[in-house]
């Protein structure tokens, strides 16, 4: 089935280079869920600057866990400490919740042209806009904790101590963001040089152009001082090598020259 | 000389785990300048959601280029296309400029504990708050373009075609953000487990704990279809291998177990 889309609104409609953009559920949900750090932004009426926090989170649908994220709008679950500012603000927010913006960005490469003006970056970027409220239902909070833990490292929830204690549950807050709209923007390929520059033979001969690919690497695990497990468990090794290799391959495929 | 500090204000004062925080010029400027993508957030009165844009930028002091960034408050220069929303808004903003927040975040590792509640991430994060205005002085715009180009890849400005053409200059906008205040937060080390979990021998034996380090890798350059330079220039190779190795080393040093 084809992937469904978020509706374009005044806030999510892409301006410049809209041809790089998409409103596609699948693209947006995958970017959010594979991005190891999300940037969450919201307003605090006490000052004029938006607050921006790096946080962990992912998309999910508590009401229907079997829902296909390619065709179903998802909620975004964000995870943190109960006294955190964003959680306080969400608790105070009236009606629909606190308006928040969540950005998931991957840099895939530095694109080098003959002139700095034509330099660029290969990237994938998703931005979701929605209303955040605190999750108060214990079953939904547990669902979201497991979802966020396993979204980063699959199987970790089941393979470490669970369920959480009462104290742990009460000091962790989960925020559910109902996504109002979202968009993604992707830049791929090599440099696009100026014709006049390409005719300048000395410049062309003396200036390397192309893409330096960039990706996130998960390196060799280092055990803690209290670790008592003989070796790094296979699911951890499988995860980190697979993720690194996917990320690396993507940065090269994005060049496509 | 000791590094100077930004003043704590209501907006930059760190709440939770303030012991992980700093207001130090050197720490903050280095995080902003080494982070390959900055997240810039501002408000658009047309809707309730902050806008968040991934952008390129770095700190500088046009009035005194020899100023030491460890002891001198810096401006933040951001670079983009003239029709971009943030540039339009800054042009319209009255008085001091458009209030913007800039976040620079590095994920350094996934910290795995015996229970998901004690999992964490090693990270370095700087957030700067300031007022953005469009740079209208041509000399300052050129200064900032060279600064931003070379901040990402040192020497690239001089080693590619410059200066920009009139058309290039007029379609590139530079935003100068006067930093009002800023803070940074750093998490290092291994997991900190619950005492009760550490006494559970089966759990300890069966659950690997420690840190999976994470860093950004600049891979082997891929030439463009129009490239006419015989080989990747040495300054590019030196930069990418040095940056990758610094990033990798940092993620392991941050563990410190």
CATH number for the domain that contains residue B139 = 2.30.110.10
Please indicate, yes or no, if residue B134 is contained in any of the structural domains: yes
Q: How confident is the model at residue B86 (pLDDT cuts 50, 70, 90)?
A: low
Q: Which whole number is the average pLDDT over A154-179? A: 94
Contact criterion met (CB < 8 Å) for A229 and B205: yes
3-class DSSP state of A71: coil
HSE value, Cβ hemisphere, 13 Å, CA-based, for B144: 29
Nearest chain A residue to B204 by CA: give it: A228
CA–CA gap between residue B133 and residue B126 (Å, rounded): 21
**B195, exposed or middle or buried, with CB in 10 Å at 0-12, 13-18, 19+?**
exposed
What residues of chain A, 163 to 202, have a C-beta less than 8 Å from chain B? Answer: 164-165, 168, 172, 180, 190-191, 193, 197-198, 200-201
Q: Which whole number is the average pLDDT over B189-214? A: 97
Nearest-neighbour CA in chain A from B3: distance (Å): 25
Contact criterion met (CB < 8 Å) for A207 and B113: no
Please indicate, yes or no, if residue A31 is contained in any of the structural domains: yes
The CA-based dihedral angle spanning residues A153, A159, A163, A169, taken in that order and rounded to the nearest 10 degrees: -30
Contact criterion met (CB < 8 Å) for A15 and B83: yes
Give percent of chain B with pLDDT exceeding 70: 92
CA–CA gap between residue B158 and residue B163 (Å, rounded): 9
Higher pLDDT, B139 or B91: B139
Instruction: Say whether residue A52 is in contact with chain B using an 8 A CB cutoff.
Output: yes
Please indicate, yes or no, if residue B22 is contained in any of the structural domains: yes
Contact criterion met (CB < 8 Å) for B222 and A257: yes
Instruction: Tell me the pLDDT tens digit for each residue of A170-203.
Output: 888 899 999 999 999 999 999 999 999 999 999 9
Contact criterion met (CB < 8 Å) for B110 and A152: yes
The answer to whether the peptide bond before residue A163 is cis (omega within 30 degrees of 0) is yes
pLDDT averaged over every residue in chain B: 91
**pLDDT at residue A216, rounded to an integer:** 98
Q: How confident is the model at residue B90 (pLDDT cuts 50, 70, 90)?
A: low
Task: Dig out the tokens for B67 from the structure.
Answer: 């100023």
Contact criterion met (CB < 8 Å) for B149 and A119: yes
Instruction: Say whether residue B114 is in contact with chain A using an 8 A CB cutoff.
Output: yes
| Listed range (A51-55, A78-82, A235-239, B163-167) with the worst mean pLDDT | A78-82
Instruction: Tell me whether 0.85 is exceeded by the ipTM.
Output: yes
pLDDT averaged over every residue in chain A: 91
CA–CA gap between residue B35 and residue A109 (Å, rounded): 14
Q: Which whole number is the average pLDDT over A26-48? A: 93
Q: Which whole number is the average pLDDT over A26-47? A: 93
For residue A10, is pLDDT > 90?
Answer: no
For residue B85, is pLDDT > 70?
Answer: no
Q: Is the CB of residue B164 less than 8 Å from the CB of residue B100?
A: no
Contact criterion met (CB < 8 Å) for A221 and B198: no
CA–CA gap between residue A223 and residue B213 (Å, rounded): 11
Instruction: Say whether residue A248 is in contact with chain B using an 8 A CB cutoff.
Output: yes
Pairing of strands B21-22, B172-187: antiparallel
Q: How far is CA B137 from the centre of its chain?
A: 25
**pLDDT at residue B91, rounded to an integer:** 65
Q: Is the CB of residue A183 less than 8 Å from the CB of residue B196?
A: no
Q: How confident is the model at residue A11 (pLDDT cuts 50, 70, 90)?
A: confident
Q: Which whole number is the average pLDDT over B179-185? A: 95
What's the whole-model pTM score? Answer: 0.94
Instruction: Tell me the pLDDT tens digit for each residue of A139-149.
Output: 999 999 999 99
For residue A78, is pLDDT > 80?
Answer: yes
Higher pLDDT, B17 or B71: B71
3-class DSSP state of B138: helix
CA–CA gap between residue B209 and residue B193 (Å, rounded): 9
Residue among B104, B152, B102, B103 at smallest CA distance from B130:
B102
Which residue in this structure is represented by tokens 């046009």?
B62
For the beta carbon of residue B17, count every other beta carbon within 10 angstroms. 10
CA–CA gap between residue A12 and residue B242 (Å, rounded): 38
Reported in sequence order, the residue ranges of B66-171 that DSSP labels E, i.e. its strands, are: 75-81, 98-112, 120-134
Nearest chain B residue to A55 by CA: give it: B121
Q: In Å, how far are A72, A209, B167 from A203, measured between CA atoms? A: 51, 11, 20
Please indicate, yes or no, if residue A229 is contained in any of the structural domains: no
What residues of chain B, 54 to 83, have a C-beta less than 8 Å from chain A? Answer: 54, 56, 81, 83
CA–CA gap between residue A211 and residue A252 (Å, rounded): 9
Q: How confident is the model at residue B45 (pLDDT cuts 50, 70, 90)?
A: confident
The answer to whether the peptide bond before residue B163 is cis (omega within 30 degrees of 0) is yes
Percentages (nearest 5) of helix, strand, coil residues in chain A: 30, 30, 40
CB-nearest partner of B54 from A103, A112, A231: A103
Task: Dig out the tokens for B8 from the structure.
Answer: 């704590």
Which residues in chain A touch residue B206, judged by CB atoms under 8 angstroms apart? 229
Instruction: Tell me the pLDDT tens digit for each residue of B103-133.
Output: 999 999 999 999 999 999 999 999 999 999 9
Longest Cα separation, chain A: 71
Please indicate, yes or no, if residue B180 is contained in any of the structural domains: yes
**pLDDT at residue B14, rounded to an integer:** 75
- Region of A120 on the Ramachandran plot (φ > 0 left; ψ -120 to 50 alpha; else beta): beta
Which residue in this structure is represented by tokens 């660029």?
A120
- If one counts the domains in chain B, the total is 1
Contact criterion met (CB < 8 Å) for B225 and A190: yes
CA–CA gap between residue A85 and residue A78 (Å, rounded): 13
Task: Dig out the tokens for A104 from the structure.
Answer: 């998931």
CB-nearest partner of B208 from A205, A214, A236: A236
Which residues in chain A touch residue B248, judged by CB atoms under 8 angstroms apart? 217, 219
Instruction: Say whether residue B215 is in contact with chain A using an 8 A CB cutoff.
Output: yes
Task: Dig out the tokens for B43 from the structure.
Answer: 């408000």
CB-nearest partner of B50 from A10, A41, A208: A41
Please indicate, yes or no, if residue B202 is contained in any of the structural domains: no
For residue A32, is pLDDT > 90?
Answer: yes
CB-nearest partner of B215 from A48, A219, A255: A219
Please indicate, yes or no, if residue A236 is contained in any of the structural domains: no
**pLDDT at residue B65, rounded to an integer:** 85
Please indicate, yes or no, if residue A7 is contained in any of the structural domains: no
**pLDDT at residue A84, rounded to an integer:** 63
Highest mean pLDDT among A6-15, A34-43, B72-81: A34-43
What is the enclosing helix (H) or strand (E) of A28? helix A25-34
Domain hosting A51: range is 18-108+121-192
Q: Which whole number is the average pLDDT over A91-120? A: 91
């Amino acid at each position: 089935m084809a992937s469904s889309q978020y509706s374009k609104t005044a806030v999510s409609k892409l301006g410049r280079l809209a041809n790089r953009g998409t409103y596609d559920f699948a693209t947006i949900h995958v970017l959010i869920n594979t991005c190891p750090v999300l940037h969450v932004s919201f307003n605090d009426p006490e000052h004029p600057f938006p607050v921006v926090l790096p946080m962990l989170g992912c998309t999910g649908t508590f009401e229907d866990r079997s829902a296909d994220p390619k065709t179903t709008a998802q909620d975004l679950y964000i995870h943190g400490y109960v006294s955190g500012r964003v959680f306080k603000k969400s608790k105070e927010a009236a009606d629909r919740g606190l308006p928040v913006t969540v950005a998931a960005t991957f840099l895939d490469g530095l694109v080098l042209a003959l002139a700095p003006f034509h330099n660029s970056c290969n990237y994938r970027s998703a931005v979701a806009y929605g209303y955040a409220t605190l999750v108060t239902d214990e079953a939904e909070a547990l669902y979201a904790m497991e979802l966020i833990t396993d979204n980063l490292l699959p199987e970790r929830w089941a393979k470490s101590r669970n369920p959480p204690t009462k104290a742990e549950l009460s000091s962790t807050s989960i925020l559910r963001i109902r996504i109002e709209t979202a968009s993604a923007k992707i830049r791929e390929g090599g440099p696009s040089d100026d014709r006049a520059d390409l005719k300048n033979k000395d410049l062309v001969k003396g200036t390397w152009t192309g893409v330096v690919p960039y990706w996130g690497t998960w390196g060799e695990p280092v055990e803690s001082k209290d670790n008592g497990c003989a070796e790094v468990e296979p699911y951890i090794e499988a995860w980190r090598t697979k993720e690194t290799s996917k990320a690396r391959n993507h940065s090269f495929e994005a060049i496509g020259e």
